[in-house]
Amino acid sequence: MVTGDQFERLRHDLIGFCYRMLGSLPDAEDIAQEAYLRWEQAGRPELDSPKSWYLRVCARLCLDRVKSVRYQREKYIGPWLPEPIMDDHADRAELDETLSIALMLMIERLKPAERAAFILHDLFGYEFPEVAEILGLEAANCRQLAKRARVHLRGEKPRGGADPAGIKRISDAFFKAVNAGDLDRLRDVLSKDVVLHADSGGKVSAARDLIVGFHSVTTFMIRVFRNAQHEVKITFRPAWFNGAPGVVSYQGEKIIAAYHFEVVNGKIASLFVYRNPDKLAIFEQTSAS
């Protein structure tokens, strides 16, 4: 029989699945808890496979939630990024590419059922008969859904190749070069077609559109840093989130941004900047603990 303690052992994986489906940690936590409440409301039945049962409930709740989440994101001001997720159990010697922001943004463009089949099979390693049981579909249908997802992602899959030490070295060089306004050093760390995503939700100042290309990104970043440094000196602290090393910037003790990087062939291909105070709150909680 499943007990509360047994559910707690499953909670991390359930939240991980829901987070990859929705890109929102609070939504993921709510759905995992709702799955537990549904088991309680059903009279705490015996379960042959507790994990499969809970995943099945979570998957169906996520598929329902995706519709409302998409509507909310259509109204979102400026670029949207998935909420940062901290993982105290992350192996700091290895990246967790299934949590990368680049991949999460790609998954966001998939249809809900494709998204679920792709995450369960390609990211979580479930065989198609297991995926079918979880989603309440035929195995052949799940195979097709995952195949269509891979076709949609083909050519867009994160190209990676960097390790944590490499990402940290490149990000450190990037911030030193931006602070110095050194374009030559920036050419060493930024790709020609680099893309900057700045998520503010319209709550603070930030670029309202994607910024594309070396010249546009460097001009924007140098101007931002020069303006900010006139107020209070910016400092940087490392932070591990979404499966990889990132950087949090401060003015005094106030967090003003968090940065994440997609590094390809030794250069930054995508720069993800969090400015939305709601999404930065998780770093406040971490630094206070």
Residue listed under structure tokens 């099945």: 56
Q: Are residues 177 and 281 in the same domain?
A: yes
Q: Are residues 131 and 188 in the same domain?
A: no
In 86-119, which positions are buried (b, 16+ CB within 10 angstroms) versus exposed (e)? eeeebeeeebbebbbbbbbbbbbebebbbbbbbb
User: The domain spanning residue 40 has which CATH number?
Assistant: 1.10.1740
Average pLDDT score over the chain:
90
Predicted pLDDT of residue 260: 97
Predicted pLDDT of residue 287: 59
Q: Is the distance from CB of 103 to CB of 158 less than 8 angstroms?
A: yes
Q: Are residues 224 and 248 in the same domain?
A: yes
Q: Is the distance from CB of 30 to CB of 68 less than 8 angstroms?
A: no
Q: Are residues 266 and 172 in the same domain?
A: yes
Predicted pLDDT of residue 274: 98
- Decide: helix, strand or coil at residue 185: helix
What does the block give as tokens for 171? 């990000």
- Spatial separation of the C-alpha atoms in residues 234 and 250, rounded to whole Å: 5
**pLDDT(234) > 80:** yes
| pLDDT tens by residue, 34-55 | 999 999 888 888 787 888 899 9
| Mean pLDDT calculated for residue range 216-239 | 87
Look up the domain containing 26 and give its range. 1-75
| pLDDT tens by residue, 50-97 | 888 999 999 999 999 998 888 888 899 999 999 999 876 555 668 899
Q: Are residues 50 and 122 in the same domain?
A: no
Q: Are residues 49 and 139 in the same domain?
A: no
Q: Is residue 63 part of a domain?
A: yes
User: The domain spanning residue 146 has which CATH number?
Assistant: 1.10.10.10
Predicted pLDDT of residue 118: 97
In 188-207, which positions are buried (b, 16+ CB within 10 angstroms) versus exposed (e)? ebbbeebbbbbbbbeeeebb
- Spatial separation of the C-alpha atoms in residues 25 and 154, rounded to whole Å: 27
Q: Are residues 170 and 284 in the same domain?
A: yes
Q: Which residues contact 124 (CB under 8 A, 6 or more apart)?
A: 17
pTM value surpassing 0.75: yes
Q: Is the distance from CB of 126 to CB of 120 less than 8 angstroms?
A: yes
Q: Are residues 168 and 149 in the same domain?
A: no
Q: Are residues 131 and 35 in the same domain?
A: no
| Mean pLDDT calculated for residue range 152-174 | 81
| Mean pLDDT calculated for residue range 172-182 | 94
Q: Are residues 28 and 116 in the same domain?
A: no
Q: Is the distance from CB of 135 to CB of 116 less than 8 angstroms?
A: yes
| Short-list 173, 149, 151, CA closest to 247 | 173
| Mean pLDDT calculated for residue range 245-258 | 93
DSSP β-bridge partners for residue 267: 264
Q: Are residues 153 and 176 in the same domain?
A: no
User: The domain spanning residue 192 has which CATH number?
Assistant: 3.10.450.50
**pLDDT(286) > 90:** no
